[in-house]
Amino acid sequence: MLLTVVCVQLIWGLVGLRESVAQNATGKDEWWRDTFIYQVYTRSFKDSNGDGVGDLNGITSKLEHLVDLGVSAVWLSPIYASPMVDFGYDISNFTAIDPIFGTIDDFTRLIARAKALKLKVVLDFVPNHSSDTHPWFVKSVQRVKPFDEYYVWKDARIVNGTRKPPNNWLSQFQGSAWEWNDQRKQYYYHQFTARQPDFNYSSTALQEEMKNVLRFWLNRGVDGFRIGAINYLIEDSHFLDEPKSSSASFLPATDPNSLKHNYTVDRDQNYDILQAWRRVLDSTNGTRKVIMTEAYTTPYFTMKFHQHGSNIPFNFNLIRNIKLSSGALGCKGVIDGYLNELPSGALPNWVVGNHDNRRTGSRLNSRWIDQINMIAAVLPGVAIIYNGDEIGMIDRPMAWNETLDPAGINAGPLNYKFKSRDSARTPFQWDNSTSAGFSSNKKTWLPVNSNYKTVNLAIQKTQPYSHYSLMKKLISLKKNPILRNGTTETTIVHYAYLAIVRRLQNQSPVVLLINVHKTLVRYDIAAFINAPDKMTVYAANSWANISVGAQVDMTNFGIDGYGAVILI
Ligand code: GLC
Ligand code: CA
């Protein structure tokens, strides 16, 4: 076992070496290194025209907020023409702006303003599927060449005279992944809703179309892409049934987790396609282009993206693997596990939130909001935050009849709460005016969280220990040379404290200390982590009850329960 681990690491090491040589040659223009990247969920950031849905002009009007924060880039969730079945992730024209978000001229103005503010703009690229209203799909149904092969079509299986889907594959959004089309007299495959047919990447014409989509937006000045659902691009060509998973016996047969996705997820050729896109981006002039990839998968398949052109293969460990029960030991395990798996030379990244997951304060609890932000800041590499993370927004629970997300609706009234992503997608809370300053309209596409009178940006700007004030300090700390170049140690101090220590030779370290206990505990931390006897508080959460700028005696260190401090 140990031997295999060593061998695997050796192989990773070698592959990593090749990559890091290539990166070092151009490393200087990797503007995303040691920065925060900020995700805007377009529908929920800022509504400029009072229709209750966020839009491009709204985003442009608020770019200064991102400059104040100090993030390097804004990633926009889909802005393209869409029937909005999956709220923009079902695209009917990859090179047009949806009228609800504005026009291409609005987009041009957004890019110009961002450039003037030295903010990079990253777009969402959704290459796994289109909307069923996309003209390509309409022509595919009609078997017009070459569109006939743009999607995954299969004949029905006839069992005892009745029509059945070609195999047992299940959609991520519940039920068969196959939908019958009565016009073409075949089933088409859809990993997500039936209104989102999957593309067939064995069509070279389709491959070219998608490269042209990238070129279209690159020519309009974007600085890179976040590629969604990239591990679903390719399906095995034998179309065999997938085996049942170990949880099959206690899940409904319609639940995708009841199958082992041997033939539909994480296929090798996904990585070849990514490399082809990398080449498209690299042959574009101007600033270096970033690729961020989204794949909820194992460490092995995540790390593999590093060698195939992704600069930021999203690391969802902070979201998926830190639990309330983790304790200092569990947190250390999650952090070390990821860092140890990284190929040498590869850039780490830490995703704090996004539109597909519950927010920190609701997934864990409100005491963890700052702590997770601080962990992402102090660890090496890029942090990716979601709009609202900087003010500690929490989920707004939804009733069944308020549910809009297809992932929730398809799960039905009993289970929608476990699957719906609506609660984390509510409008951004700017201030305490109508609809939290998001819209002049009292009615917004998803309801505003009722806590907006106390949780909003305007108030938090006036509070020195707010989530916002802390986040600003964290973002600026990323640029500190000790964080950029220092070593990383994670230590557990008497089970009460998780310590992350960043060190550069001959310099005083940067130390994050998180009290995971309910009460104050005191220790000689200086000796334990080899830190100076006296350190200064650079930042603290409100639970720590300690002033920024205060001198701390590290030989007798103690902060209140759930407190977290960064010391320099
Ligand atoms: C991406 C998006 C998610 C969407 C899915 C299917 O993973 O993040 O919101 O539902 O693609 O389109
Ligand atoms: Ca609007």
pLDDT of residue 41 exceeding 50, the answer is: yes
Report the chain's mean pLDDT, rounded to a whole number. Answer: 95
**Mean pLDDT along residues 34-54:** 98
The CA 228 to ligand 1 mean position distance, Å, reads: 6
| Helix (H) / strand (E) containing 16 | helix 2-26
Protein residue closest via CA to atom 4 of ligand 1: 89
**pLDDT number for residue 12:** 40
- Please state, in angstroms and as integers, the Cα–Cα distance from residue 429 to each residue in 46, 394, 454, 509, following that order: 9, 11, 10, 36
- Give the helix ranges, DSSP H, for 321-449: 327-341, 360-363, 369-378, 406-409, 412-419
Establish whether residue 228 lines the binding site of ligand 1, counting it when its CB lies within 6 angstroms of any ligand atom: yes
Tell me the CA–centroid distance for residue 76 and ligand 1, in Å: 13
Instruction: Measure the CA–CA gap between 253 and 270, rounded to whole angstroms.
Output: 27
Ligand nearest to the CA of 386: 1
Determine whether the shortest distance from the Cβ of 89 to ligand 1 is under 6 A. Answer: yes
> From the CA of 48, how far away is ligand 2's center (Å)?
5
Q: What is the pTM of this model?
A: 0.94
Question: Which tens digits make up the pLDDT trace of 398-431?
Answer: 999 999 999 999 999 999 999 999 999 999 999 9
Indicate if ligand 1 lies below 6 Å from the C-beta of 553: no
Q: What percent of the chain has pLDDT over 90?
A: 94
Does the pLDDT value for residue 10 go beyond 80?
no
- Give the distance (Å) from ligand 2 centre to CA of residue 440: 10
Tell me, using a 6 A CB cutoff, whether residue 314 lines ligand 1.
no
Confidence of residue 27 (pLDDT cuts 50, 70, 90): low
Kindly report, residue by residue over 429-484, the tens digit of the pLDDT.
999 999 999 999 999 999 999 999 999 999 999 999 999 999 999 999 999 999 99
134: helix, strand or coil: coil
Ligand 1 contact, 386 CB (< 6 A): no
Is 32 near ligand 1, meaning CB less than 6 Å away?
no
Structure tokens at 479: 């640029």
* Residue 307 clears pLDDT 80, i.e. is over it: yes
Phi, psi of 290 (to 5 degrees): -100, 145
